[in-house]
């Protein structure tokens, strides 16, 4: 199991690592840096002593044979005692080695990845920085009802039945609203295929070693549903199984970049979420999502990052939804992320923007944990960079869609690009 950062990097640049922890407002982790460097020194000393003992043991074993051959039995016995002594010490050292290794790994898994110098420093999402707006945020002169009220007018949602069947955070979508949900997913799929991405439907369950490879322990605990009695988790996003696809692989350099767009349901505990809302589909335990992921050479990840969030902006604009991009500040970045941009859609009802997608560059953090390496043209091996971004995640996306396309008479306009997926309908009434 690999970690997020290279131990050698931490050893050689403790100040950079500590400053990065401060920049992320995780000061409680500062002592871990010196602790892991100290453990590493001890681990290497233990390893060296063990290696020396193994080498001398081999030499001594040969001597025993020679002495016995010369009939020097007493001397041979003395050397035998020496070998037994070193075997005992070696057993102790091997236990220590394992112990150090486990403690180092545990710490290294929690020391955050080094963020990009362009990331603004801030404590939490309230300090994220707006980058750019796309499209005119309009507030119409008629009142826009809450999204579930719009859906209920079309008999498009049944939260009461869902509550009886599964509890809060679930829903039945029906009729034209359910069709609209599928249409958006299908349109998003084709949109990404047209941009050269390979369409993929991945496993919806993954093993724990993939989970810990793609996310931090804290995130895992707050998000993932575990299948009882099996080493399987329901995915919280298809990016998890998509990046997992490359676990333990050595990819030929000429096969990069791998650009994939995946469809899947997503399951989330939403533990610690501000109370699952009874009447909305904003935070829910299950939803569907079209995702994009890229595995590329390290020098290309900045370029791909900008391409990925731009795809989302273009998609929403093609559906007449105004959006803006937000640069996530240091304190809002998950531990594996190097840089992140959120795409937010305009809500005419709330007269503000809300998050509909998140684009992240993870550098080599996931690749290092999952051992995703690249075979360079010159024969060198290095870790790939991985990126991911939401294409669309309805039903949340439907909130933006319905609010922005609602007409004064209560009908909802279907933008041109979506009509083929809705059987040619121009509006739903």
Identify the CA nearest to 337 among candidates 208, 219, 257.
219
Q: Are 413 and 401 in contact (CB under 8 A)?
A: no
Output the six-digit token pair for 375.
């075979």
Straight-line distance from the first to the last Cα atom of the chain, in angstroms, rounded to the nearest whole number: 55
Contact 79, 56 (CB under 8 A): no
Q: Which residues contact 60 (CB under 8 A, 6 or more apart)?
A: 79, 82, 83, 86
Residue 246 has pLDDT above 70, yes or no: yes
Who's near 340: CB < 8 A, 6+ residues apart? 327, 328, 332, 333, 334, 358, 359, 360, 361
Rounded mean pLDDT, 240-258? 95
Mean pLDDT along residues 229-253: 94
Q: How far apart are CA 335 and CA 416, in angstroms?
A: 41
The predicted pLDDT at position 218 comes to: 75
Per-residue pLDDT tens for 168-202? 889 999 999 999 999 999 999 999 999 999 999 99
Bridging pattern class, strands 286-296 and 258-267: antiparallel
How far is it, in rounded angstroms, from Cα 268 to Cα 225?
A: 7
284/50 Cα distance (integer angstroms) = 53
Q: Residue 212: its pLDDT value, please? A: 83
Question: Is pLDDT above 90 for 282?
Answer: no
Mind listing the domains of the chain with CATH numbers?
7-108 (1.10.287.40), 125-428 (3.30.930.10)
**How is the beta sheet containing 385-392 ordered, strand by strand?**
129-134, 323-327, 339-347, 352-361, 385-392, 286-296, 258-267, 198-200
Contacts for 65 with CB less than 8 Å, ≥ 6 apart? none
pLDDT score recorded for residue 278: 54
pLDDT value at position 84? 81
pLDDT attached to residue 274: 53
* pLDDT at residue 1 in the model: 52
CA 416 – CA 429 distance, rounded (Å): 17
Instruction: Give the mean model confidence (pLDDT) for residues 279-291.
Output: 85
For 140, phi then psi, to 5°, come to -70, 170
Closest among 270, 236, 259 to 307, alpha carbons compared? 259
pLDDT, one tens digit per residue, over 18-44 is 999 999 999 999 999 999 999 999 999
Distances (CA, A) of 25 to 145, 195, 217, 335: 39, 38, 18, 12
Interior angle at CA 189, CA 398 and CA 299, nearest 5: 110
Residue 258 has pLDDT above 70, yes or no: yes
Write down the pLDDT at residue 391. Answer: 94
pLDDT of residue 99: 94
**The token pair that represents 160 in the structure block:** 């009461």
pLDDT on residue 219? 78
The overall average pLDDT reported for the chain is 91
Question: Mean pLDDT throughout 355-378?
Answer: 93
With a cut of 90, say whether residue 3 has pLDDT above it.
no
Q: Tell me: pLDDT of 277 over 60.
A: no
Please check the confidence at residue 273 and state whether its pLDDT lies above 70: no
What integer pLDDT is reported at residue 56 of this predicted model?
83
What mean pLDDT do residues 250-266 have?
Answer: 96
Per-residue pLDDT at 403 exceeds 60: yes
Largest CA distance in the chain: 109
Across the range 160-169, mean pLDDT stands at 92
**Dihedral pair phi/psi, residue 339, rounded to 5°:** -165, 145
| Cα 213 from Cα 371, distance rounded (Å) | 9
Q: Are 324 and 131 in contact (CB under 8 A)?
A: yes
Extract the tokens encoding 103: 């403690």
Structure confidence at residue 220 (pLDDT)? 81
Among 1-5, 78-82, 109-113, 369-373, name the one with the lowest average pLDDT: 1-5
More confident residue, 11 or 73: 11
279 — pLDDT class (breaks 50, 70, 90) = low
Residue 72 is predicted with a pLDDT of 77
């Amino acid at each position: 199991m690999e970690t997020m950062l290279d131990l050698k990097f931490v050893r050689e640049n403790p100040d950079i690592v500590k400053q990065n922890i401060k920049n992320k407002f995780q000061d409680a982790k500062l002592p871990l840096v010196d602790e892991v460097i100290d453990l590493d020194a001890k681990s290497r000393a233990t390893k060296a002593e063990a290696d020396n003992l193994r080498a001398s043991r081999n030499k001594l074993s040969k001597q025993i044979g020679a002495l016995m051959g010369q009939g020097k039995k007493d001397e041979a016995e003395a050397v035998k005692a020496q070998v037994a002594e070193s075997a005992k010490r070696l057993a102790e050292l091997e236990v220590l080695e394992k112990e150090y290794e486990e403690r180092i790994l545990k710490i290294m898994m929690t020391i955050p990845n080094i963020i990009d110098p362009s990331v603004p420093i801030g404590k939490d999402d309230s300090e994220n920085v707006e980058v750019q707006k796309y499209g005119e945020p309009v507030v119409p002169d008629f009142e826009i009802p809450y999204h579930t009220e719009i859906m209920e007018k079309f008999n498009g949602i049944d939260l009461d039945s869902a509550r009886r069947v599964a509890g809060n955070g679930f829903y039945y979508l029906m009729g034209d609203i359910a069709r609209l949900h599928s249409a958006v997913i299908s349109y998003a799929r084709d949109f990404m295929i047209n941009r050269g991405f390979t369409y993929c439907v991945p496993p919806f369950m993954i093993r724990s070693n993939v989970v810990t490879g793609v996310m931090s322990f804290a995130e895992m605990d707050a998000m993932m549903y575990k299948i009882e009695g099996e080493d399987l988790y329901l995915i919280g996003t298809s990016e998890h199984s998509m990046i997992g696809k490359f676990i333990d692989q050595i990819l030929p350099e000429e096969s990069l970049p791998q650009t994939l767009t995946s469809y899947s349901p997503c399951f989330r505990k939403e533990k610690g979420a501000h109370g699952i809302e009874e009447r909305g589909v904003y935070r829910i335990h299950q939803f569907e999502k079209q995702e994009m992921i890229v595995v590329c050479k390290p020098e290309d990840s900045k370029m791909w990052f900008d391409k990925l969030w731009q795809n989302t902006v273009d998609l929403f604009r093609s559906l007449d939804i105004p959006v803006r991009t937000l640069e996530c500040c240091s304190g809002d970045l998950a531990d594996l992320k190097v840089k992140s941009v959120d795409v937010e859609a305009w809500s005419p009802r709330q007269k503000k923007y809300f998050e509909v997608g998140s684009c992240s560059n993870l550098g080599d953090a996931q690749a290092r944990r999952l051992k995703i390496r690249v075979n360079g043209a010159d024969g060198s091996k290095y870790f790939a960079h991985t990126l991911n971004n939401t294409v669309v995640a309805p039903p949340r996306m439907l909130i933006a869609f319905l609010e922005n396309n609602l007409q004064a008479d209560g009908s909802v306009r279907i933008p041109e690009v979506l009509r083929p997926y809705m059987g040619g309908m121009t509006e739903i009434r």
